[in-house]
Chains A and B, each alone.
Chain A
Amino acid sequence: MPSVSMTVNGNAVGGDIEARTLLVDFIREHLRLTGTHVGCDTSQCGACVVHVDGTSVKSCTMLALQAEGCQVETIESLADGDTLHPMQEAFREHHGLQCGFCTPGMVMTAVAMAKENPNLTESDVRHGLEGNFCRCTGYQNIVESIIAGAKAMQG
Chain B
Amino acid sequence: MYEFNFNRPASIADALTAIADADDGQFMAGGQTMIPVLKQRLAMPSDVVELANIDDLKGIAVDGGTVTIGAMTPHSEVHNSLEVADAIPALADLAGMIGDPHVRNRGTIGGSVANNDPAADYPAAVVGLGATVVTDRREIAGDDFFVDLFETALVEGELITAVRFPLPDKAAYMKFPNPASRYAIVGVFVSQSNGDVRVAVTGAGPCVFREVAMETALAADFSADAVAGISVSGDDFNNDIHASAEYRAHLVTVMAKRAVIKAG
Contact = CB atoms under 8 A, between A and B. Distances in A.
Given A57-B105, A66-B52, A131-B100, 5 more contacts: A19-B5, A19-B6, A131-B101, A131-B102, A131-B103
A55 B105 contact: yes
Contact of A62 (B8, B31, B100): B31
Q: Which of A19, A46, A109, A132 has the most CB of B within 10 A?
A: A19
11 contacts: A19-B4, A19-B6, A44-B180, A56-B101, A56-B102, A57-B105, A61-B102, A63-B31, A65-B8, A66-B50, A113-B101
Interface of B: 1-6, 8, 30-32, 35-36, 38-39, 48, 50, 52, 76, 99-103, 105-106, 180-182
A41 B8 contact: no
Interface in A28-51: 41-44, 46, 49
A18 B102 contact: no
B82 to A, nearest CB: 15
B100 A130 contact: yes
A93 interface: no
A128 B32 contact: no
A61 B35 contact: yes
A6 interface: no
- 5 closest Cβ contacts across the A-B interface? A131-B100, A19-B6, A130-B100, A20-B1, A55-B105
Contacts of B36: 42-43, 61
A19 B3 contact: yes
A18 B3 contact: yes
Nearest to B36: A43
Contacts of A132: 100
A20 B34 CA distance: 12
A67 to B, nearest CB: 10
Interface string A1-39: 010000000000000001110100000000000000000
Interface in A101-134: 109, 112-113, 128, 130-132
Contacts of B38: 20
Interface residues on A, range: 20 to 34
Contacts of B50: 63, 65-66
Contacts of B182: 130-131
A66 B31 contact: yes
A63 B6 contact: yes
Contacts of B102: 46, 49, 56-58, 61, 109, 131
Nearest to A59: B102
Contact of B39 (A18, A41, A131): A41
B6 A44 contact: no
A42 B48 CA distance: 20
Contacts of A76: none
Contacts of A65: 6, 8, 50
Nearest to B103: A131
Given A20-B1, A55-B105, A66-B50, A61 B32 contact: yes
B48 A19 contact: yes
Nearest to A60: B35
B99 to A, nearest CB: 7
Given A58-B102, A112-B101, A131-B103, A20 B180 contact: no
B103 A43 contact: yes
